[in-house]
Amino acid sequence: MSTEYGADQIQILEGLEAVRKRPGMYIGSTSSRGLHHLVYEIVDNSVDEALAGVCDHIDVTINADNSVTVIDNGRGIPVGINHKAGIPAVEVVFTVLHAGGKFGGGGYKVSGGLHGVGASVVNALSEWLEVTIYHEGKVYRQRYERGKAIYKLKIIGDCEPDKTGTMVTFLPDKEIFEETVFDYDILKQRFREMAFLTKGLKISLHDLRPETPVTREFHYEGGIKEFVTYLNRSKTALYPEIIYCEGEKDGVAVEVAMQHNDSYTENTYGFVNNITTPEGGTHVMGFRNALTKTFNDYARKNKLLKDTEKLAGEDIREGLTAIISVKIEEPQFEGQTKQKLGNSEARSAVDSVVSSQLEIFLEQNPTVAKIVVEKSVLAQRARDAARKARDLTRRKSALEGMSLPGKLADCTDKDPKNCEIYIVEGDSAGGSAKTARSRATQAILPLRGKILNVEKARLDKIYGNAEIKAMITAFGTGIHEDFDITKLRYHKIIIMTDADVDGAHIATLMLTFLYRFMPELIRQGYVYLAQPPLYKIEKNKKVWYAYSDAELNRILTEIGRDGNNKIQRYKGLGEMDADQLWETTMDPARRVLLRVTMDEEASSELDLTFTTLMGDKVEPRREFIEENALNVKNLDI
Ligand code: TSJ
């Protein structure tokens, strides 16, 4: 088959009415997530042009009216007549469902990937959409409203003969979307990632809505090598080099970059056609296999290990940050959420590219090899020690029955659905909470001071930590391979800390532990943050509580700002007596809880959220806590 794209090669499938009737079928949802997918759908087409080597700049603008403009300097969508449809190819692209996805043969396409439903779906779900094409000295334009062309493709003017490209502007339909306001930060995150994944491509993002417009530019000549540097930016790297492998096998283009840092957790992110695969898949398995095999072979050959010794994969990956990016023509996604790559040729391609190039890298960089092997040996020892400690506690609990931690004031109800556990910072606040609680359904577990930072400790130390042991036994689920969510003893795990920077830090330490050791609790929505008030306002024997400065102002405006107001600023939970704590923070009828969530699609950023907070570098941590504290959703309960 010819790799030349012709106007008549687009397969015509079906009309757009179906898209407007059941938008969720095509873009997943009509919430904020679906709204942002519209932008990705359009931009993916320009990224394909960049992957074809004929486009190096994509410019995205959120306009003042909340429409979005995407401009690229590629070849321009073809304007010639598509013979099957009898209309210009560009019109087919925007009005025929699934057009543009498969041109058959020739190059990788991110727009045909997981989300690739095409420009016609965006068009169908937009109040209006305008496309402008620069081609051979002419400027072409067509406008659509709710998917229908309102005039034929026309020439609206001339341009310089060597200027080529495509510009698309669309306004999401308010009849379709629950949310129609674009979030600059969400787009920024995604475009940064896209720029890392497509080296050399410049992506500019402008937001024209604020009084002072904002602009960001993402352009990485080093591609995923710079991605790894970025992910490790608040950590300490174990060596300055970024290990990099690139190659092609059986139609799979493979790119891998990695570097170890001094933490104990692995951060491996897989991408297929620029789309993240939170559940991994064959490409990640191929990578892991190659890593384990190559390091073991090297270590044995260079006498860093005895012939009988063997490094385990997880020990080699301790503290590893890695990006595995594959491009494949027909990706098969598996698993419940279709986020796991299934193609077996991806496994062997990644395995073979990484094995051969990593071997050469290690031969040429013996210092790096030695650092990693030595770290892996230490990791292995710590893991053995941890296993022994765990076996001991397992045996103990089998003999003595599950003994709950002494500091836990448990609730009397035994149905987990009704039960909540408050994890409270400090013994004194714990005392008030014990007095205040509703004994039937609310359990209290006081923790002493700052809990262990699990990002900075190996497993043996983590399992030996009293606060962490108390949480694990109180929850009842066990951890790692023993984790069983059906054994969870409370359906609400509520973290209650002071409403100040220290409190936010302690809450984050706890969330880091939960995220690393029991992510399923967060995924299933069992984890919450309590919201203690910041102020108490008293006037003429009446009392109000304010949970933010804005609320304080609202209340003061309502009751009048005069000398009779008594305002108390709470510095900690300990300043409230039990009744106040109950009224403001624990009474299910009156309290505000924030549910902790994680956005799996933005996984590399989420991880960063935690690691920035927990790393050694103090400044980003402070900024982060004060700006937005945590990834939490407000709940009306
Ligand atoms: F999605 C879309 F259609 F709306 C859209 C497509 C939006 C934007 C902003 C850009 C694009 C786009 C499409 N940019 N560049 C292209 N290129 C082609 O469609 C194209 C041009 C020439 C040839 C060729 O073989 O000559 C092949 C293709 C796919």
pLDDT of 319-363, one tens digit each? 999 999 999 988 999 988 788 999 999 999 999 999 999 999 999
Can you tell me which atom of ligand 1 is nearest the CA of 70? Answer: 9
Q: How far is the CA of 313 from the centre of ligand 1 (A)?
A: 43
Res. 104: pLDDT tops 80:
no
Cα dihedral angle (60, 64, 68, 74), rounded to 10 degrees?
Answer: -40
For residue 128, list its beta bridge partners.
145, 171
pLDDT value of residue 12:
34
Quote the percentage of the chain above a pLDDT of 90: 61
Q: pLDDT: is 629 or 286 the higher one?
A: 286
Whether 498 sits among the annotated catalytic residues: the reply is: yes
Name every protein residue with a CB atom under 6 angstroms from any ligand 1 atom.
4-5, 42, 45-46, 49, 70, 72, 74-75, 77-78, 93, 119, 166, 168
- Rounded CA Rg of the chain: 28
Rounded-to-integer distance, Cα 350 and Cα 283, Å:
6
**Which of 146-150, 236-240, 453-457, 602-606 has the least mean pLDDT?**
602-606
Whether 502 sits among the annotated catalytic residues: the reply is: yes
Q: pLDDT: is 573 or 13 the higher one?
A: 573
pLDDT of 511-549, one tens digit each? 888 988 888 998 898 999 888 888 999 998 899 998 888
Can you tell me which atom of ligand 1 is nearest the CA of 77? Answer: 19
Can you tell me which atom of ligand 1 is nearest the CA of 103? Answer: 29
Model confidence, pTM: 0.78
pLDDT value of residue 615:
46
pLDDT value of residue 516:
84
- Mutational pocket test of ligand 1: of 2, 41, 43, 46, the residue with most ligand atoms within 8 Å of the beta carbon: 46
Length of the chain measured in residues? 637
For residue 166, list its beta bridge partners.
72, 133
Q: How far is the CA of 146 from the centre of ligand 1 (A)?
A: 21
pLDDT of 156-189, one tens digit each? 999 999 999 999 999 999 999 999 999 999 999 9
Average pLDDT over residues 11-34: 81
Rounded-to-integer distance, Cα 222 and Cα 228, Å:
10
Among the listed residues 329, 308, 258, the one whose alpha carbon sits nearest the alpha carbon of residue 288? 258
Q: At 167, which amino acid appears?
A: M
pLDDT of 105-133, one tens digit each? 445 666 654 445 589 999 999 999 999 99
Check 175, 185, 309, 500 and give the catalytic one.
Answer: 500
Rounded-to-integer distance, Cα 249 and Cα 360, Å:
18
Within a 13 Å sphere around the CA of 449, how many CA atoms are in the beta-carbon half? 3
Binning pLDDT at 50, 70 and 90, where does residue 425 land?
A: confident
Among the listed residues 437, 449, 450, 447, the one whose alpha carbon sits nearest the alpha carbon of residue 410? 437
The answer to whether 461 and 524 have CB atoms below 8 angstroms apart is no
- Residue-wise DSSP of 472-535: HHHH----GGG--GGG-S-SEEEEE--SSHHHHHHHHHHHHHHHHH-HHHHHTT-EEEE---SE
The per-residue pLDDT of the chain, averaged, comes to 87
pLDDT value of residue 117:
57
pLDDT value of residue 108:
64
Whether 500 sits among the annotated catalytic residues: the reply is: yes
For residue 14, list its beta bridge partners.
97
pLDDT value of residue 189:
93
- Which contiguous run of DSSP H or E holds residue 154? strand 154-158
The residues, any chain, with a CB within 8 Å of residue 462's CB and separated by 6 or more, are 386, 452, 454, 468, 517
**Which of 135-139, 226-230, 470-474 has the least mean pLDDT?**
470-474
Residue nearest to atom 18 of ligand 1 (CA): 77
pLDDT value of residue 2:
40
Binning pLDDT at 50, 70 and 90, where does residue 603 land?
A: low
pLDDT value of residue 7:
38
- Residue-wise DSSP of 226-268: HHHHHHTTTS-BSSSPPEEEEEEETTEEEEEEEEEBSSS--EE
Check 334, 502, 583, 587 and give the catalytic one.
Answer: 502
Rounded-to-integer distance, Cα 294 and Cα 495, Å:
44
Rounded-to-integer distance, Cα 584 and Cα 433, Å:
12
Rounded-to-integer distance, Cα 502 and Cα 572, Å:
10
Binning pLDDT at 50, 70 and 90, where does residue 11 land?
A: very low
Within a 13 Å sphere around the CA of 478, how many CA atoms are in the beta-carbon half? 14
Can you tell me which atom of ligand 1 is nearest the CA of 118? Answer: 1
pLDDT value of residue 394:
64
Q: How far is the CA of 163 from the centre of ligand 1 (A)?
A: 15
The answer to whether 74 and 50 have CB atoms below 8 angstroms apart is yes
Average pLDDT over residues 412-426: 94
Among the listed residues 87, 83, 107, the one whose alpha carbon sits nearest the alpha carbon of residue 95? 87
- Which contiguous run of DSSP H or E holds residue 627? helix 618-628
Residue nearest to atom 7 of ligand 1 (CA): 42
Q: How far is the CA of 154 from the centre of ligand 1 (A)?
A: 18
**Which of 77-91, 346-360, 496-510 has the least mean pLDDT?**
496-510
Rounded-to-integer distance, Cα 479 and Cα 498, Å:
28
